[in-house]
């Protein structure tokens, strides 16, 4: 059966598998101090044109968000995010579990606006009861957002400027960063690294066997970060098992090429949907396609292809989502288009 459920349902780039086969019987160094992790770190630093980049390999996205956010915030601070943000909605309260509130801003197709952010923070400090309220301590955004939309380099810079004004670190969740980089080369790794205090490069959804790469960009790794990771249960004894994926993916631009494939497949699907008269819930240039389906048609389709539920729109319609990936073959897209 065809599947467009999610990009983390794929294996790994074949080049990674090849590398794993080659080095399987070597003895590695633990906790990310191995040569493959170090090589990956170096390549990431170069790709981001960021000499100060300090890179850590973790297993999952929620985990990475929770460890980084908890490390950046003072105990009495919260993290500002769009109300549609992954940290606000879909992490089972992991941020609150660390003791911090998610302070919600309006979402414009998944994005926040610099002026909303500035107004929010100003209002906080102007409030007579400010010290009985949670202090906005940092800002979280996703690139691409949960709805597949993208911040331009200009928008990033504007948001970052507000963050700097109020001394709030900006943190970017790049769970699907490969697709963002592929879709808008002008907002590349260097622009991202320059305009935030930390970000993570998604591996789970972008072709790694598993794992994510957390990058601190400004010589600003939180003190005793290894112990903090361990305390959150997130330290990988076999850290190199993630490092290898990134070492391979940051060779010959494999990471971005994976994103290009995903985007190309999604574009074709999007065009076909338009031609067939489907309403799209939101349009973007990356690898998530959101379609409004009449409920009976949706049920019929679900017998032939896997997709994911997004939200109930009204009594008779549902928004569903198709996700393409580095591994999607154009013939799968064609098969899907025929079914629609």
Name residues contacting its own copies, limited to 39-68 (CB under 8 A).
59-67
Question: CA dist 332 to 1, 338, 340, Å?
Answer: 10, 10, 13
Nearest to 203 by CA among 237, 170, 169, 250: 250
Query: What H or E segment, with its residue span, contains residue 177?
Result: helix 177-183
Subset of residues 65 to 94 that bind its own copies, contact rule: CB under 8 A: 65-67, 70-71, 74-76, 78, 89-94
Q: Which stretch binds its own copies (CB under 8 A): 1-9, 152-160, 258-266, 289-297?
A: 1-9
Judged by CB under 8 A, does residue 134 bind its own copies? Answer: yes
Tokens standing for residue 185: 């080369």
Question: Measured from the CB atom, is 11 or 271 closer to its own copies?
Answer: 11
Question: Measured from the CB atom, is 8 or 151 closer to its own copies?
Answer: 8
Question: Measured from the CB atom, is 24 or 219 closer to its own copies?
Answer: 24
Burial of 272 (0-12, 13-18, 19+ CB in 10 A): middle
Question: Measured from the CB atom, is 55 or 68 closer to its own copies?
Answer: 68
**Minimum distance of its own copies from residue 53's CB (angstroms):** 22
Distance CA 93, CA 173 (A): 17
Subset of residues 246 to 305 that bind its own copies, contact rule: CB under 8 A: none
Question: Measured from the CB atom, is 81 or 193 closer to its own copies?
Answer: 81
Question: Measured from the CB atom, is 37 or 135 closer to its own copies?
Answer: 135
Total number of residues binding its own copies (CB under 8 A)?
82
The site string for its own copies over 112-131 (x = CB under 8 A, - otherwise) reads -----------x--xxxx-x
Subset of residues 148 to 207 that bind its own copies, contact rule: CB under 8 A: 204-205
Distance of CA 216 to the CA centre of its chain: 15
Backbone angles phi, psi at 14, to 5 degrees: -55, -30
Distance CA 309, CA 253 (A): 32
Residue 107 contacts residue 83 (beta carbons within 8 Å): yes
Show Cβ contacts of residue 259 under 8 Å, excluding neighbours closer than 6 positions. Answer: 176, 177, 178, 179, 180, 181, 182, 183, 206, 286, 287, 326
**Minimum distance of its own copies from residue 166's CB (angstroms):** 15
Judged by CB under 8 A, does residue 26 bind its own copies? Answer: yes
Residue 293 contacts residue 321 (beta carbons within 8 Å): no
**Minimum distance of its own copies from residue 226's CB (angstroms):** 5
Judged by CB under 8 A, does residue 30 bind its own copies? Answer: yes
């Amino acid at each position: 059966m065809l599947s467009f459920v999610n990009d983390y349902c794929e294996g790994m780039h074949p080049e990674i598998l090849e590398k794993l086969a080659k080095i399987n019987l070597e003895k590695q160094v633990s906790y990310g101090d191995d040569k493959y992790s170090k090589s990956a770190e170096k390549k990431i630093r170069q790709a981001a044109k960021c000499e100060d980049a300090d890179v850590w390999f973790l297993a999952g996205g929620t985990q990475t968000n929770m460890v980084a956010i908890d490390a950046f915030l003072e105990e009495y601070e919260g993290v500002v995010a769009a109300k549609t943000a992954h940290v606000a909605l879909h992490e089972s309260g992991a941020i609150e579990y660390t003791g911090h509130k998610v302070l919600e801003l309006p979402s414009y197709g998944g994005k926040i606006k610099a002026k909303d952010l500035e107004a929010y923070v100003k209002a906080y400090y102007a409030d007579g009861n400010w010290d009985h309220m949670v202090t906005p301590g940092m800002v979280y955004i996703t690139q691409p957002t949960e709805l597949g939309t993208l911040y331009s380099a200009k928008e990033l810079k504007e948001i970052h400027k507000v963050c700097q004004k109020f001394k709030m670190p900006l943190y970017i969740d790049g769970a699907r960063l490969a697709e963002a980089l592929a879709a808008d080369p002008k907002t590349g790794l260097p622009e991202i690294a320059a305009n935030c205090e930390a970000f993570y490069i998604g591996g789970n959804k972008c072709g790694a066997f598993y794992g994510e790469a957390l990058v601190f960009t400004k010589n600003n790794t939180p003190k005793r970060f290894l112990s903090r990771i361990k305390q959150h249960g997130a330290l990988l004894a076999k850290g190199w098992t993630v490092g290898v994926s990134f070492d391979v993916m940051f060779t010959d631009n494999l990471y971005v090429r994976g994103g290009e494939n995903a985007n190309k497949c999604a574009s074709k699907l999007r065009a076909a949907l338009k031609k067939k008269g489907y309403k799209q819930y939101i349009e973007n240039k990356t690898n998530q396609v959101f379609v409004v389906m009449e409920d009976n048609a949706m049920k019929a389709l679900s017998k032939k292809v896997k997709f994911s539920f997004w939200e109930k729109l009204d009594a008779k319609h549902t928004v569903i989502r198709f996700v393409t990936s580095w591994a999607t073959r154009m013939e799968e897209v064609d098969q899907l288009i025929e079914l629609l």
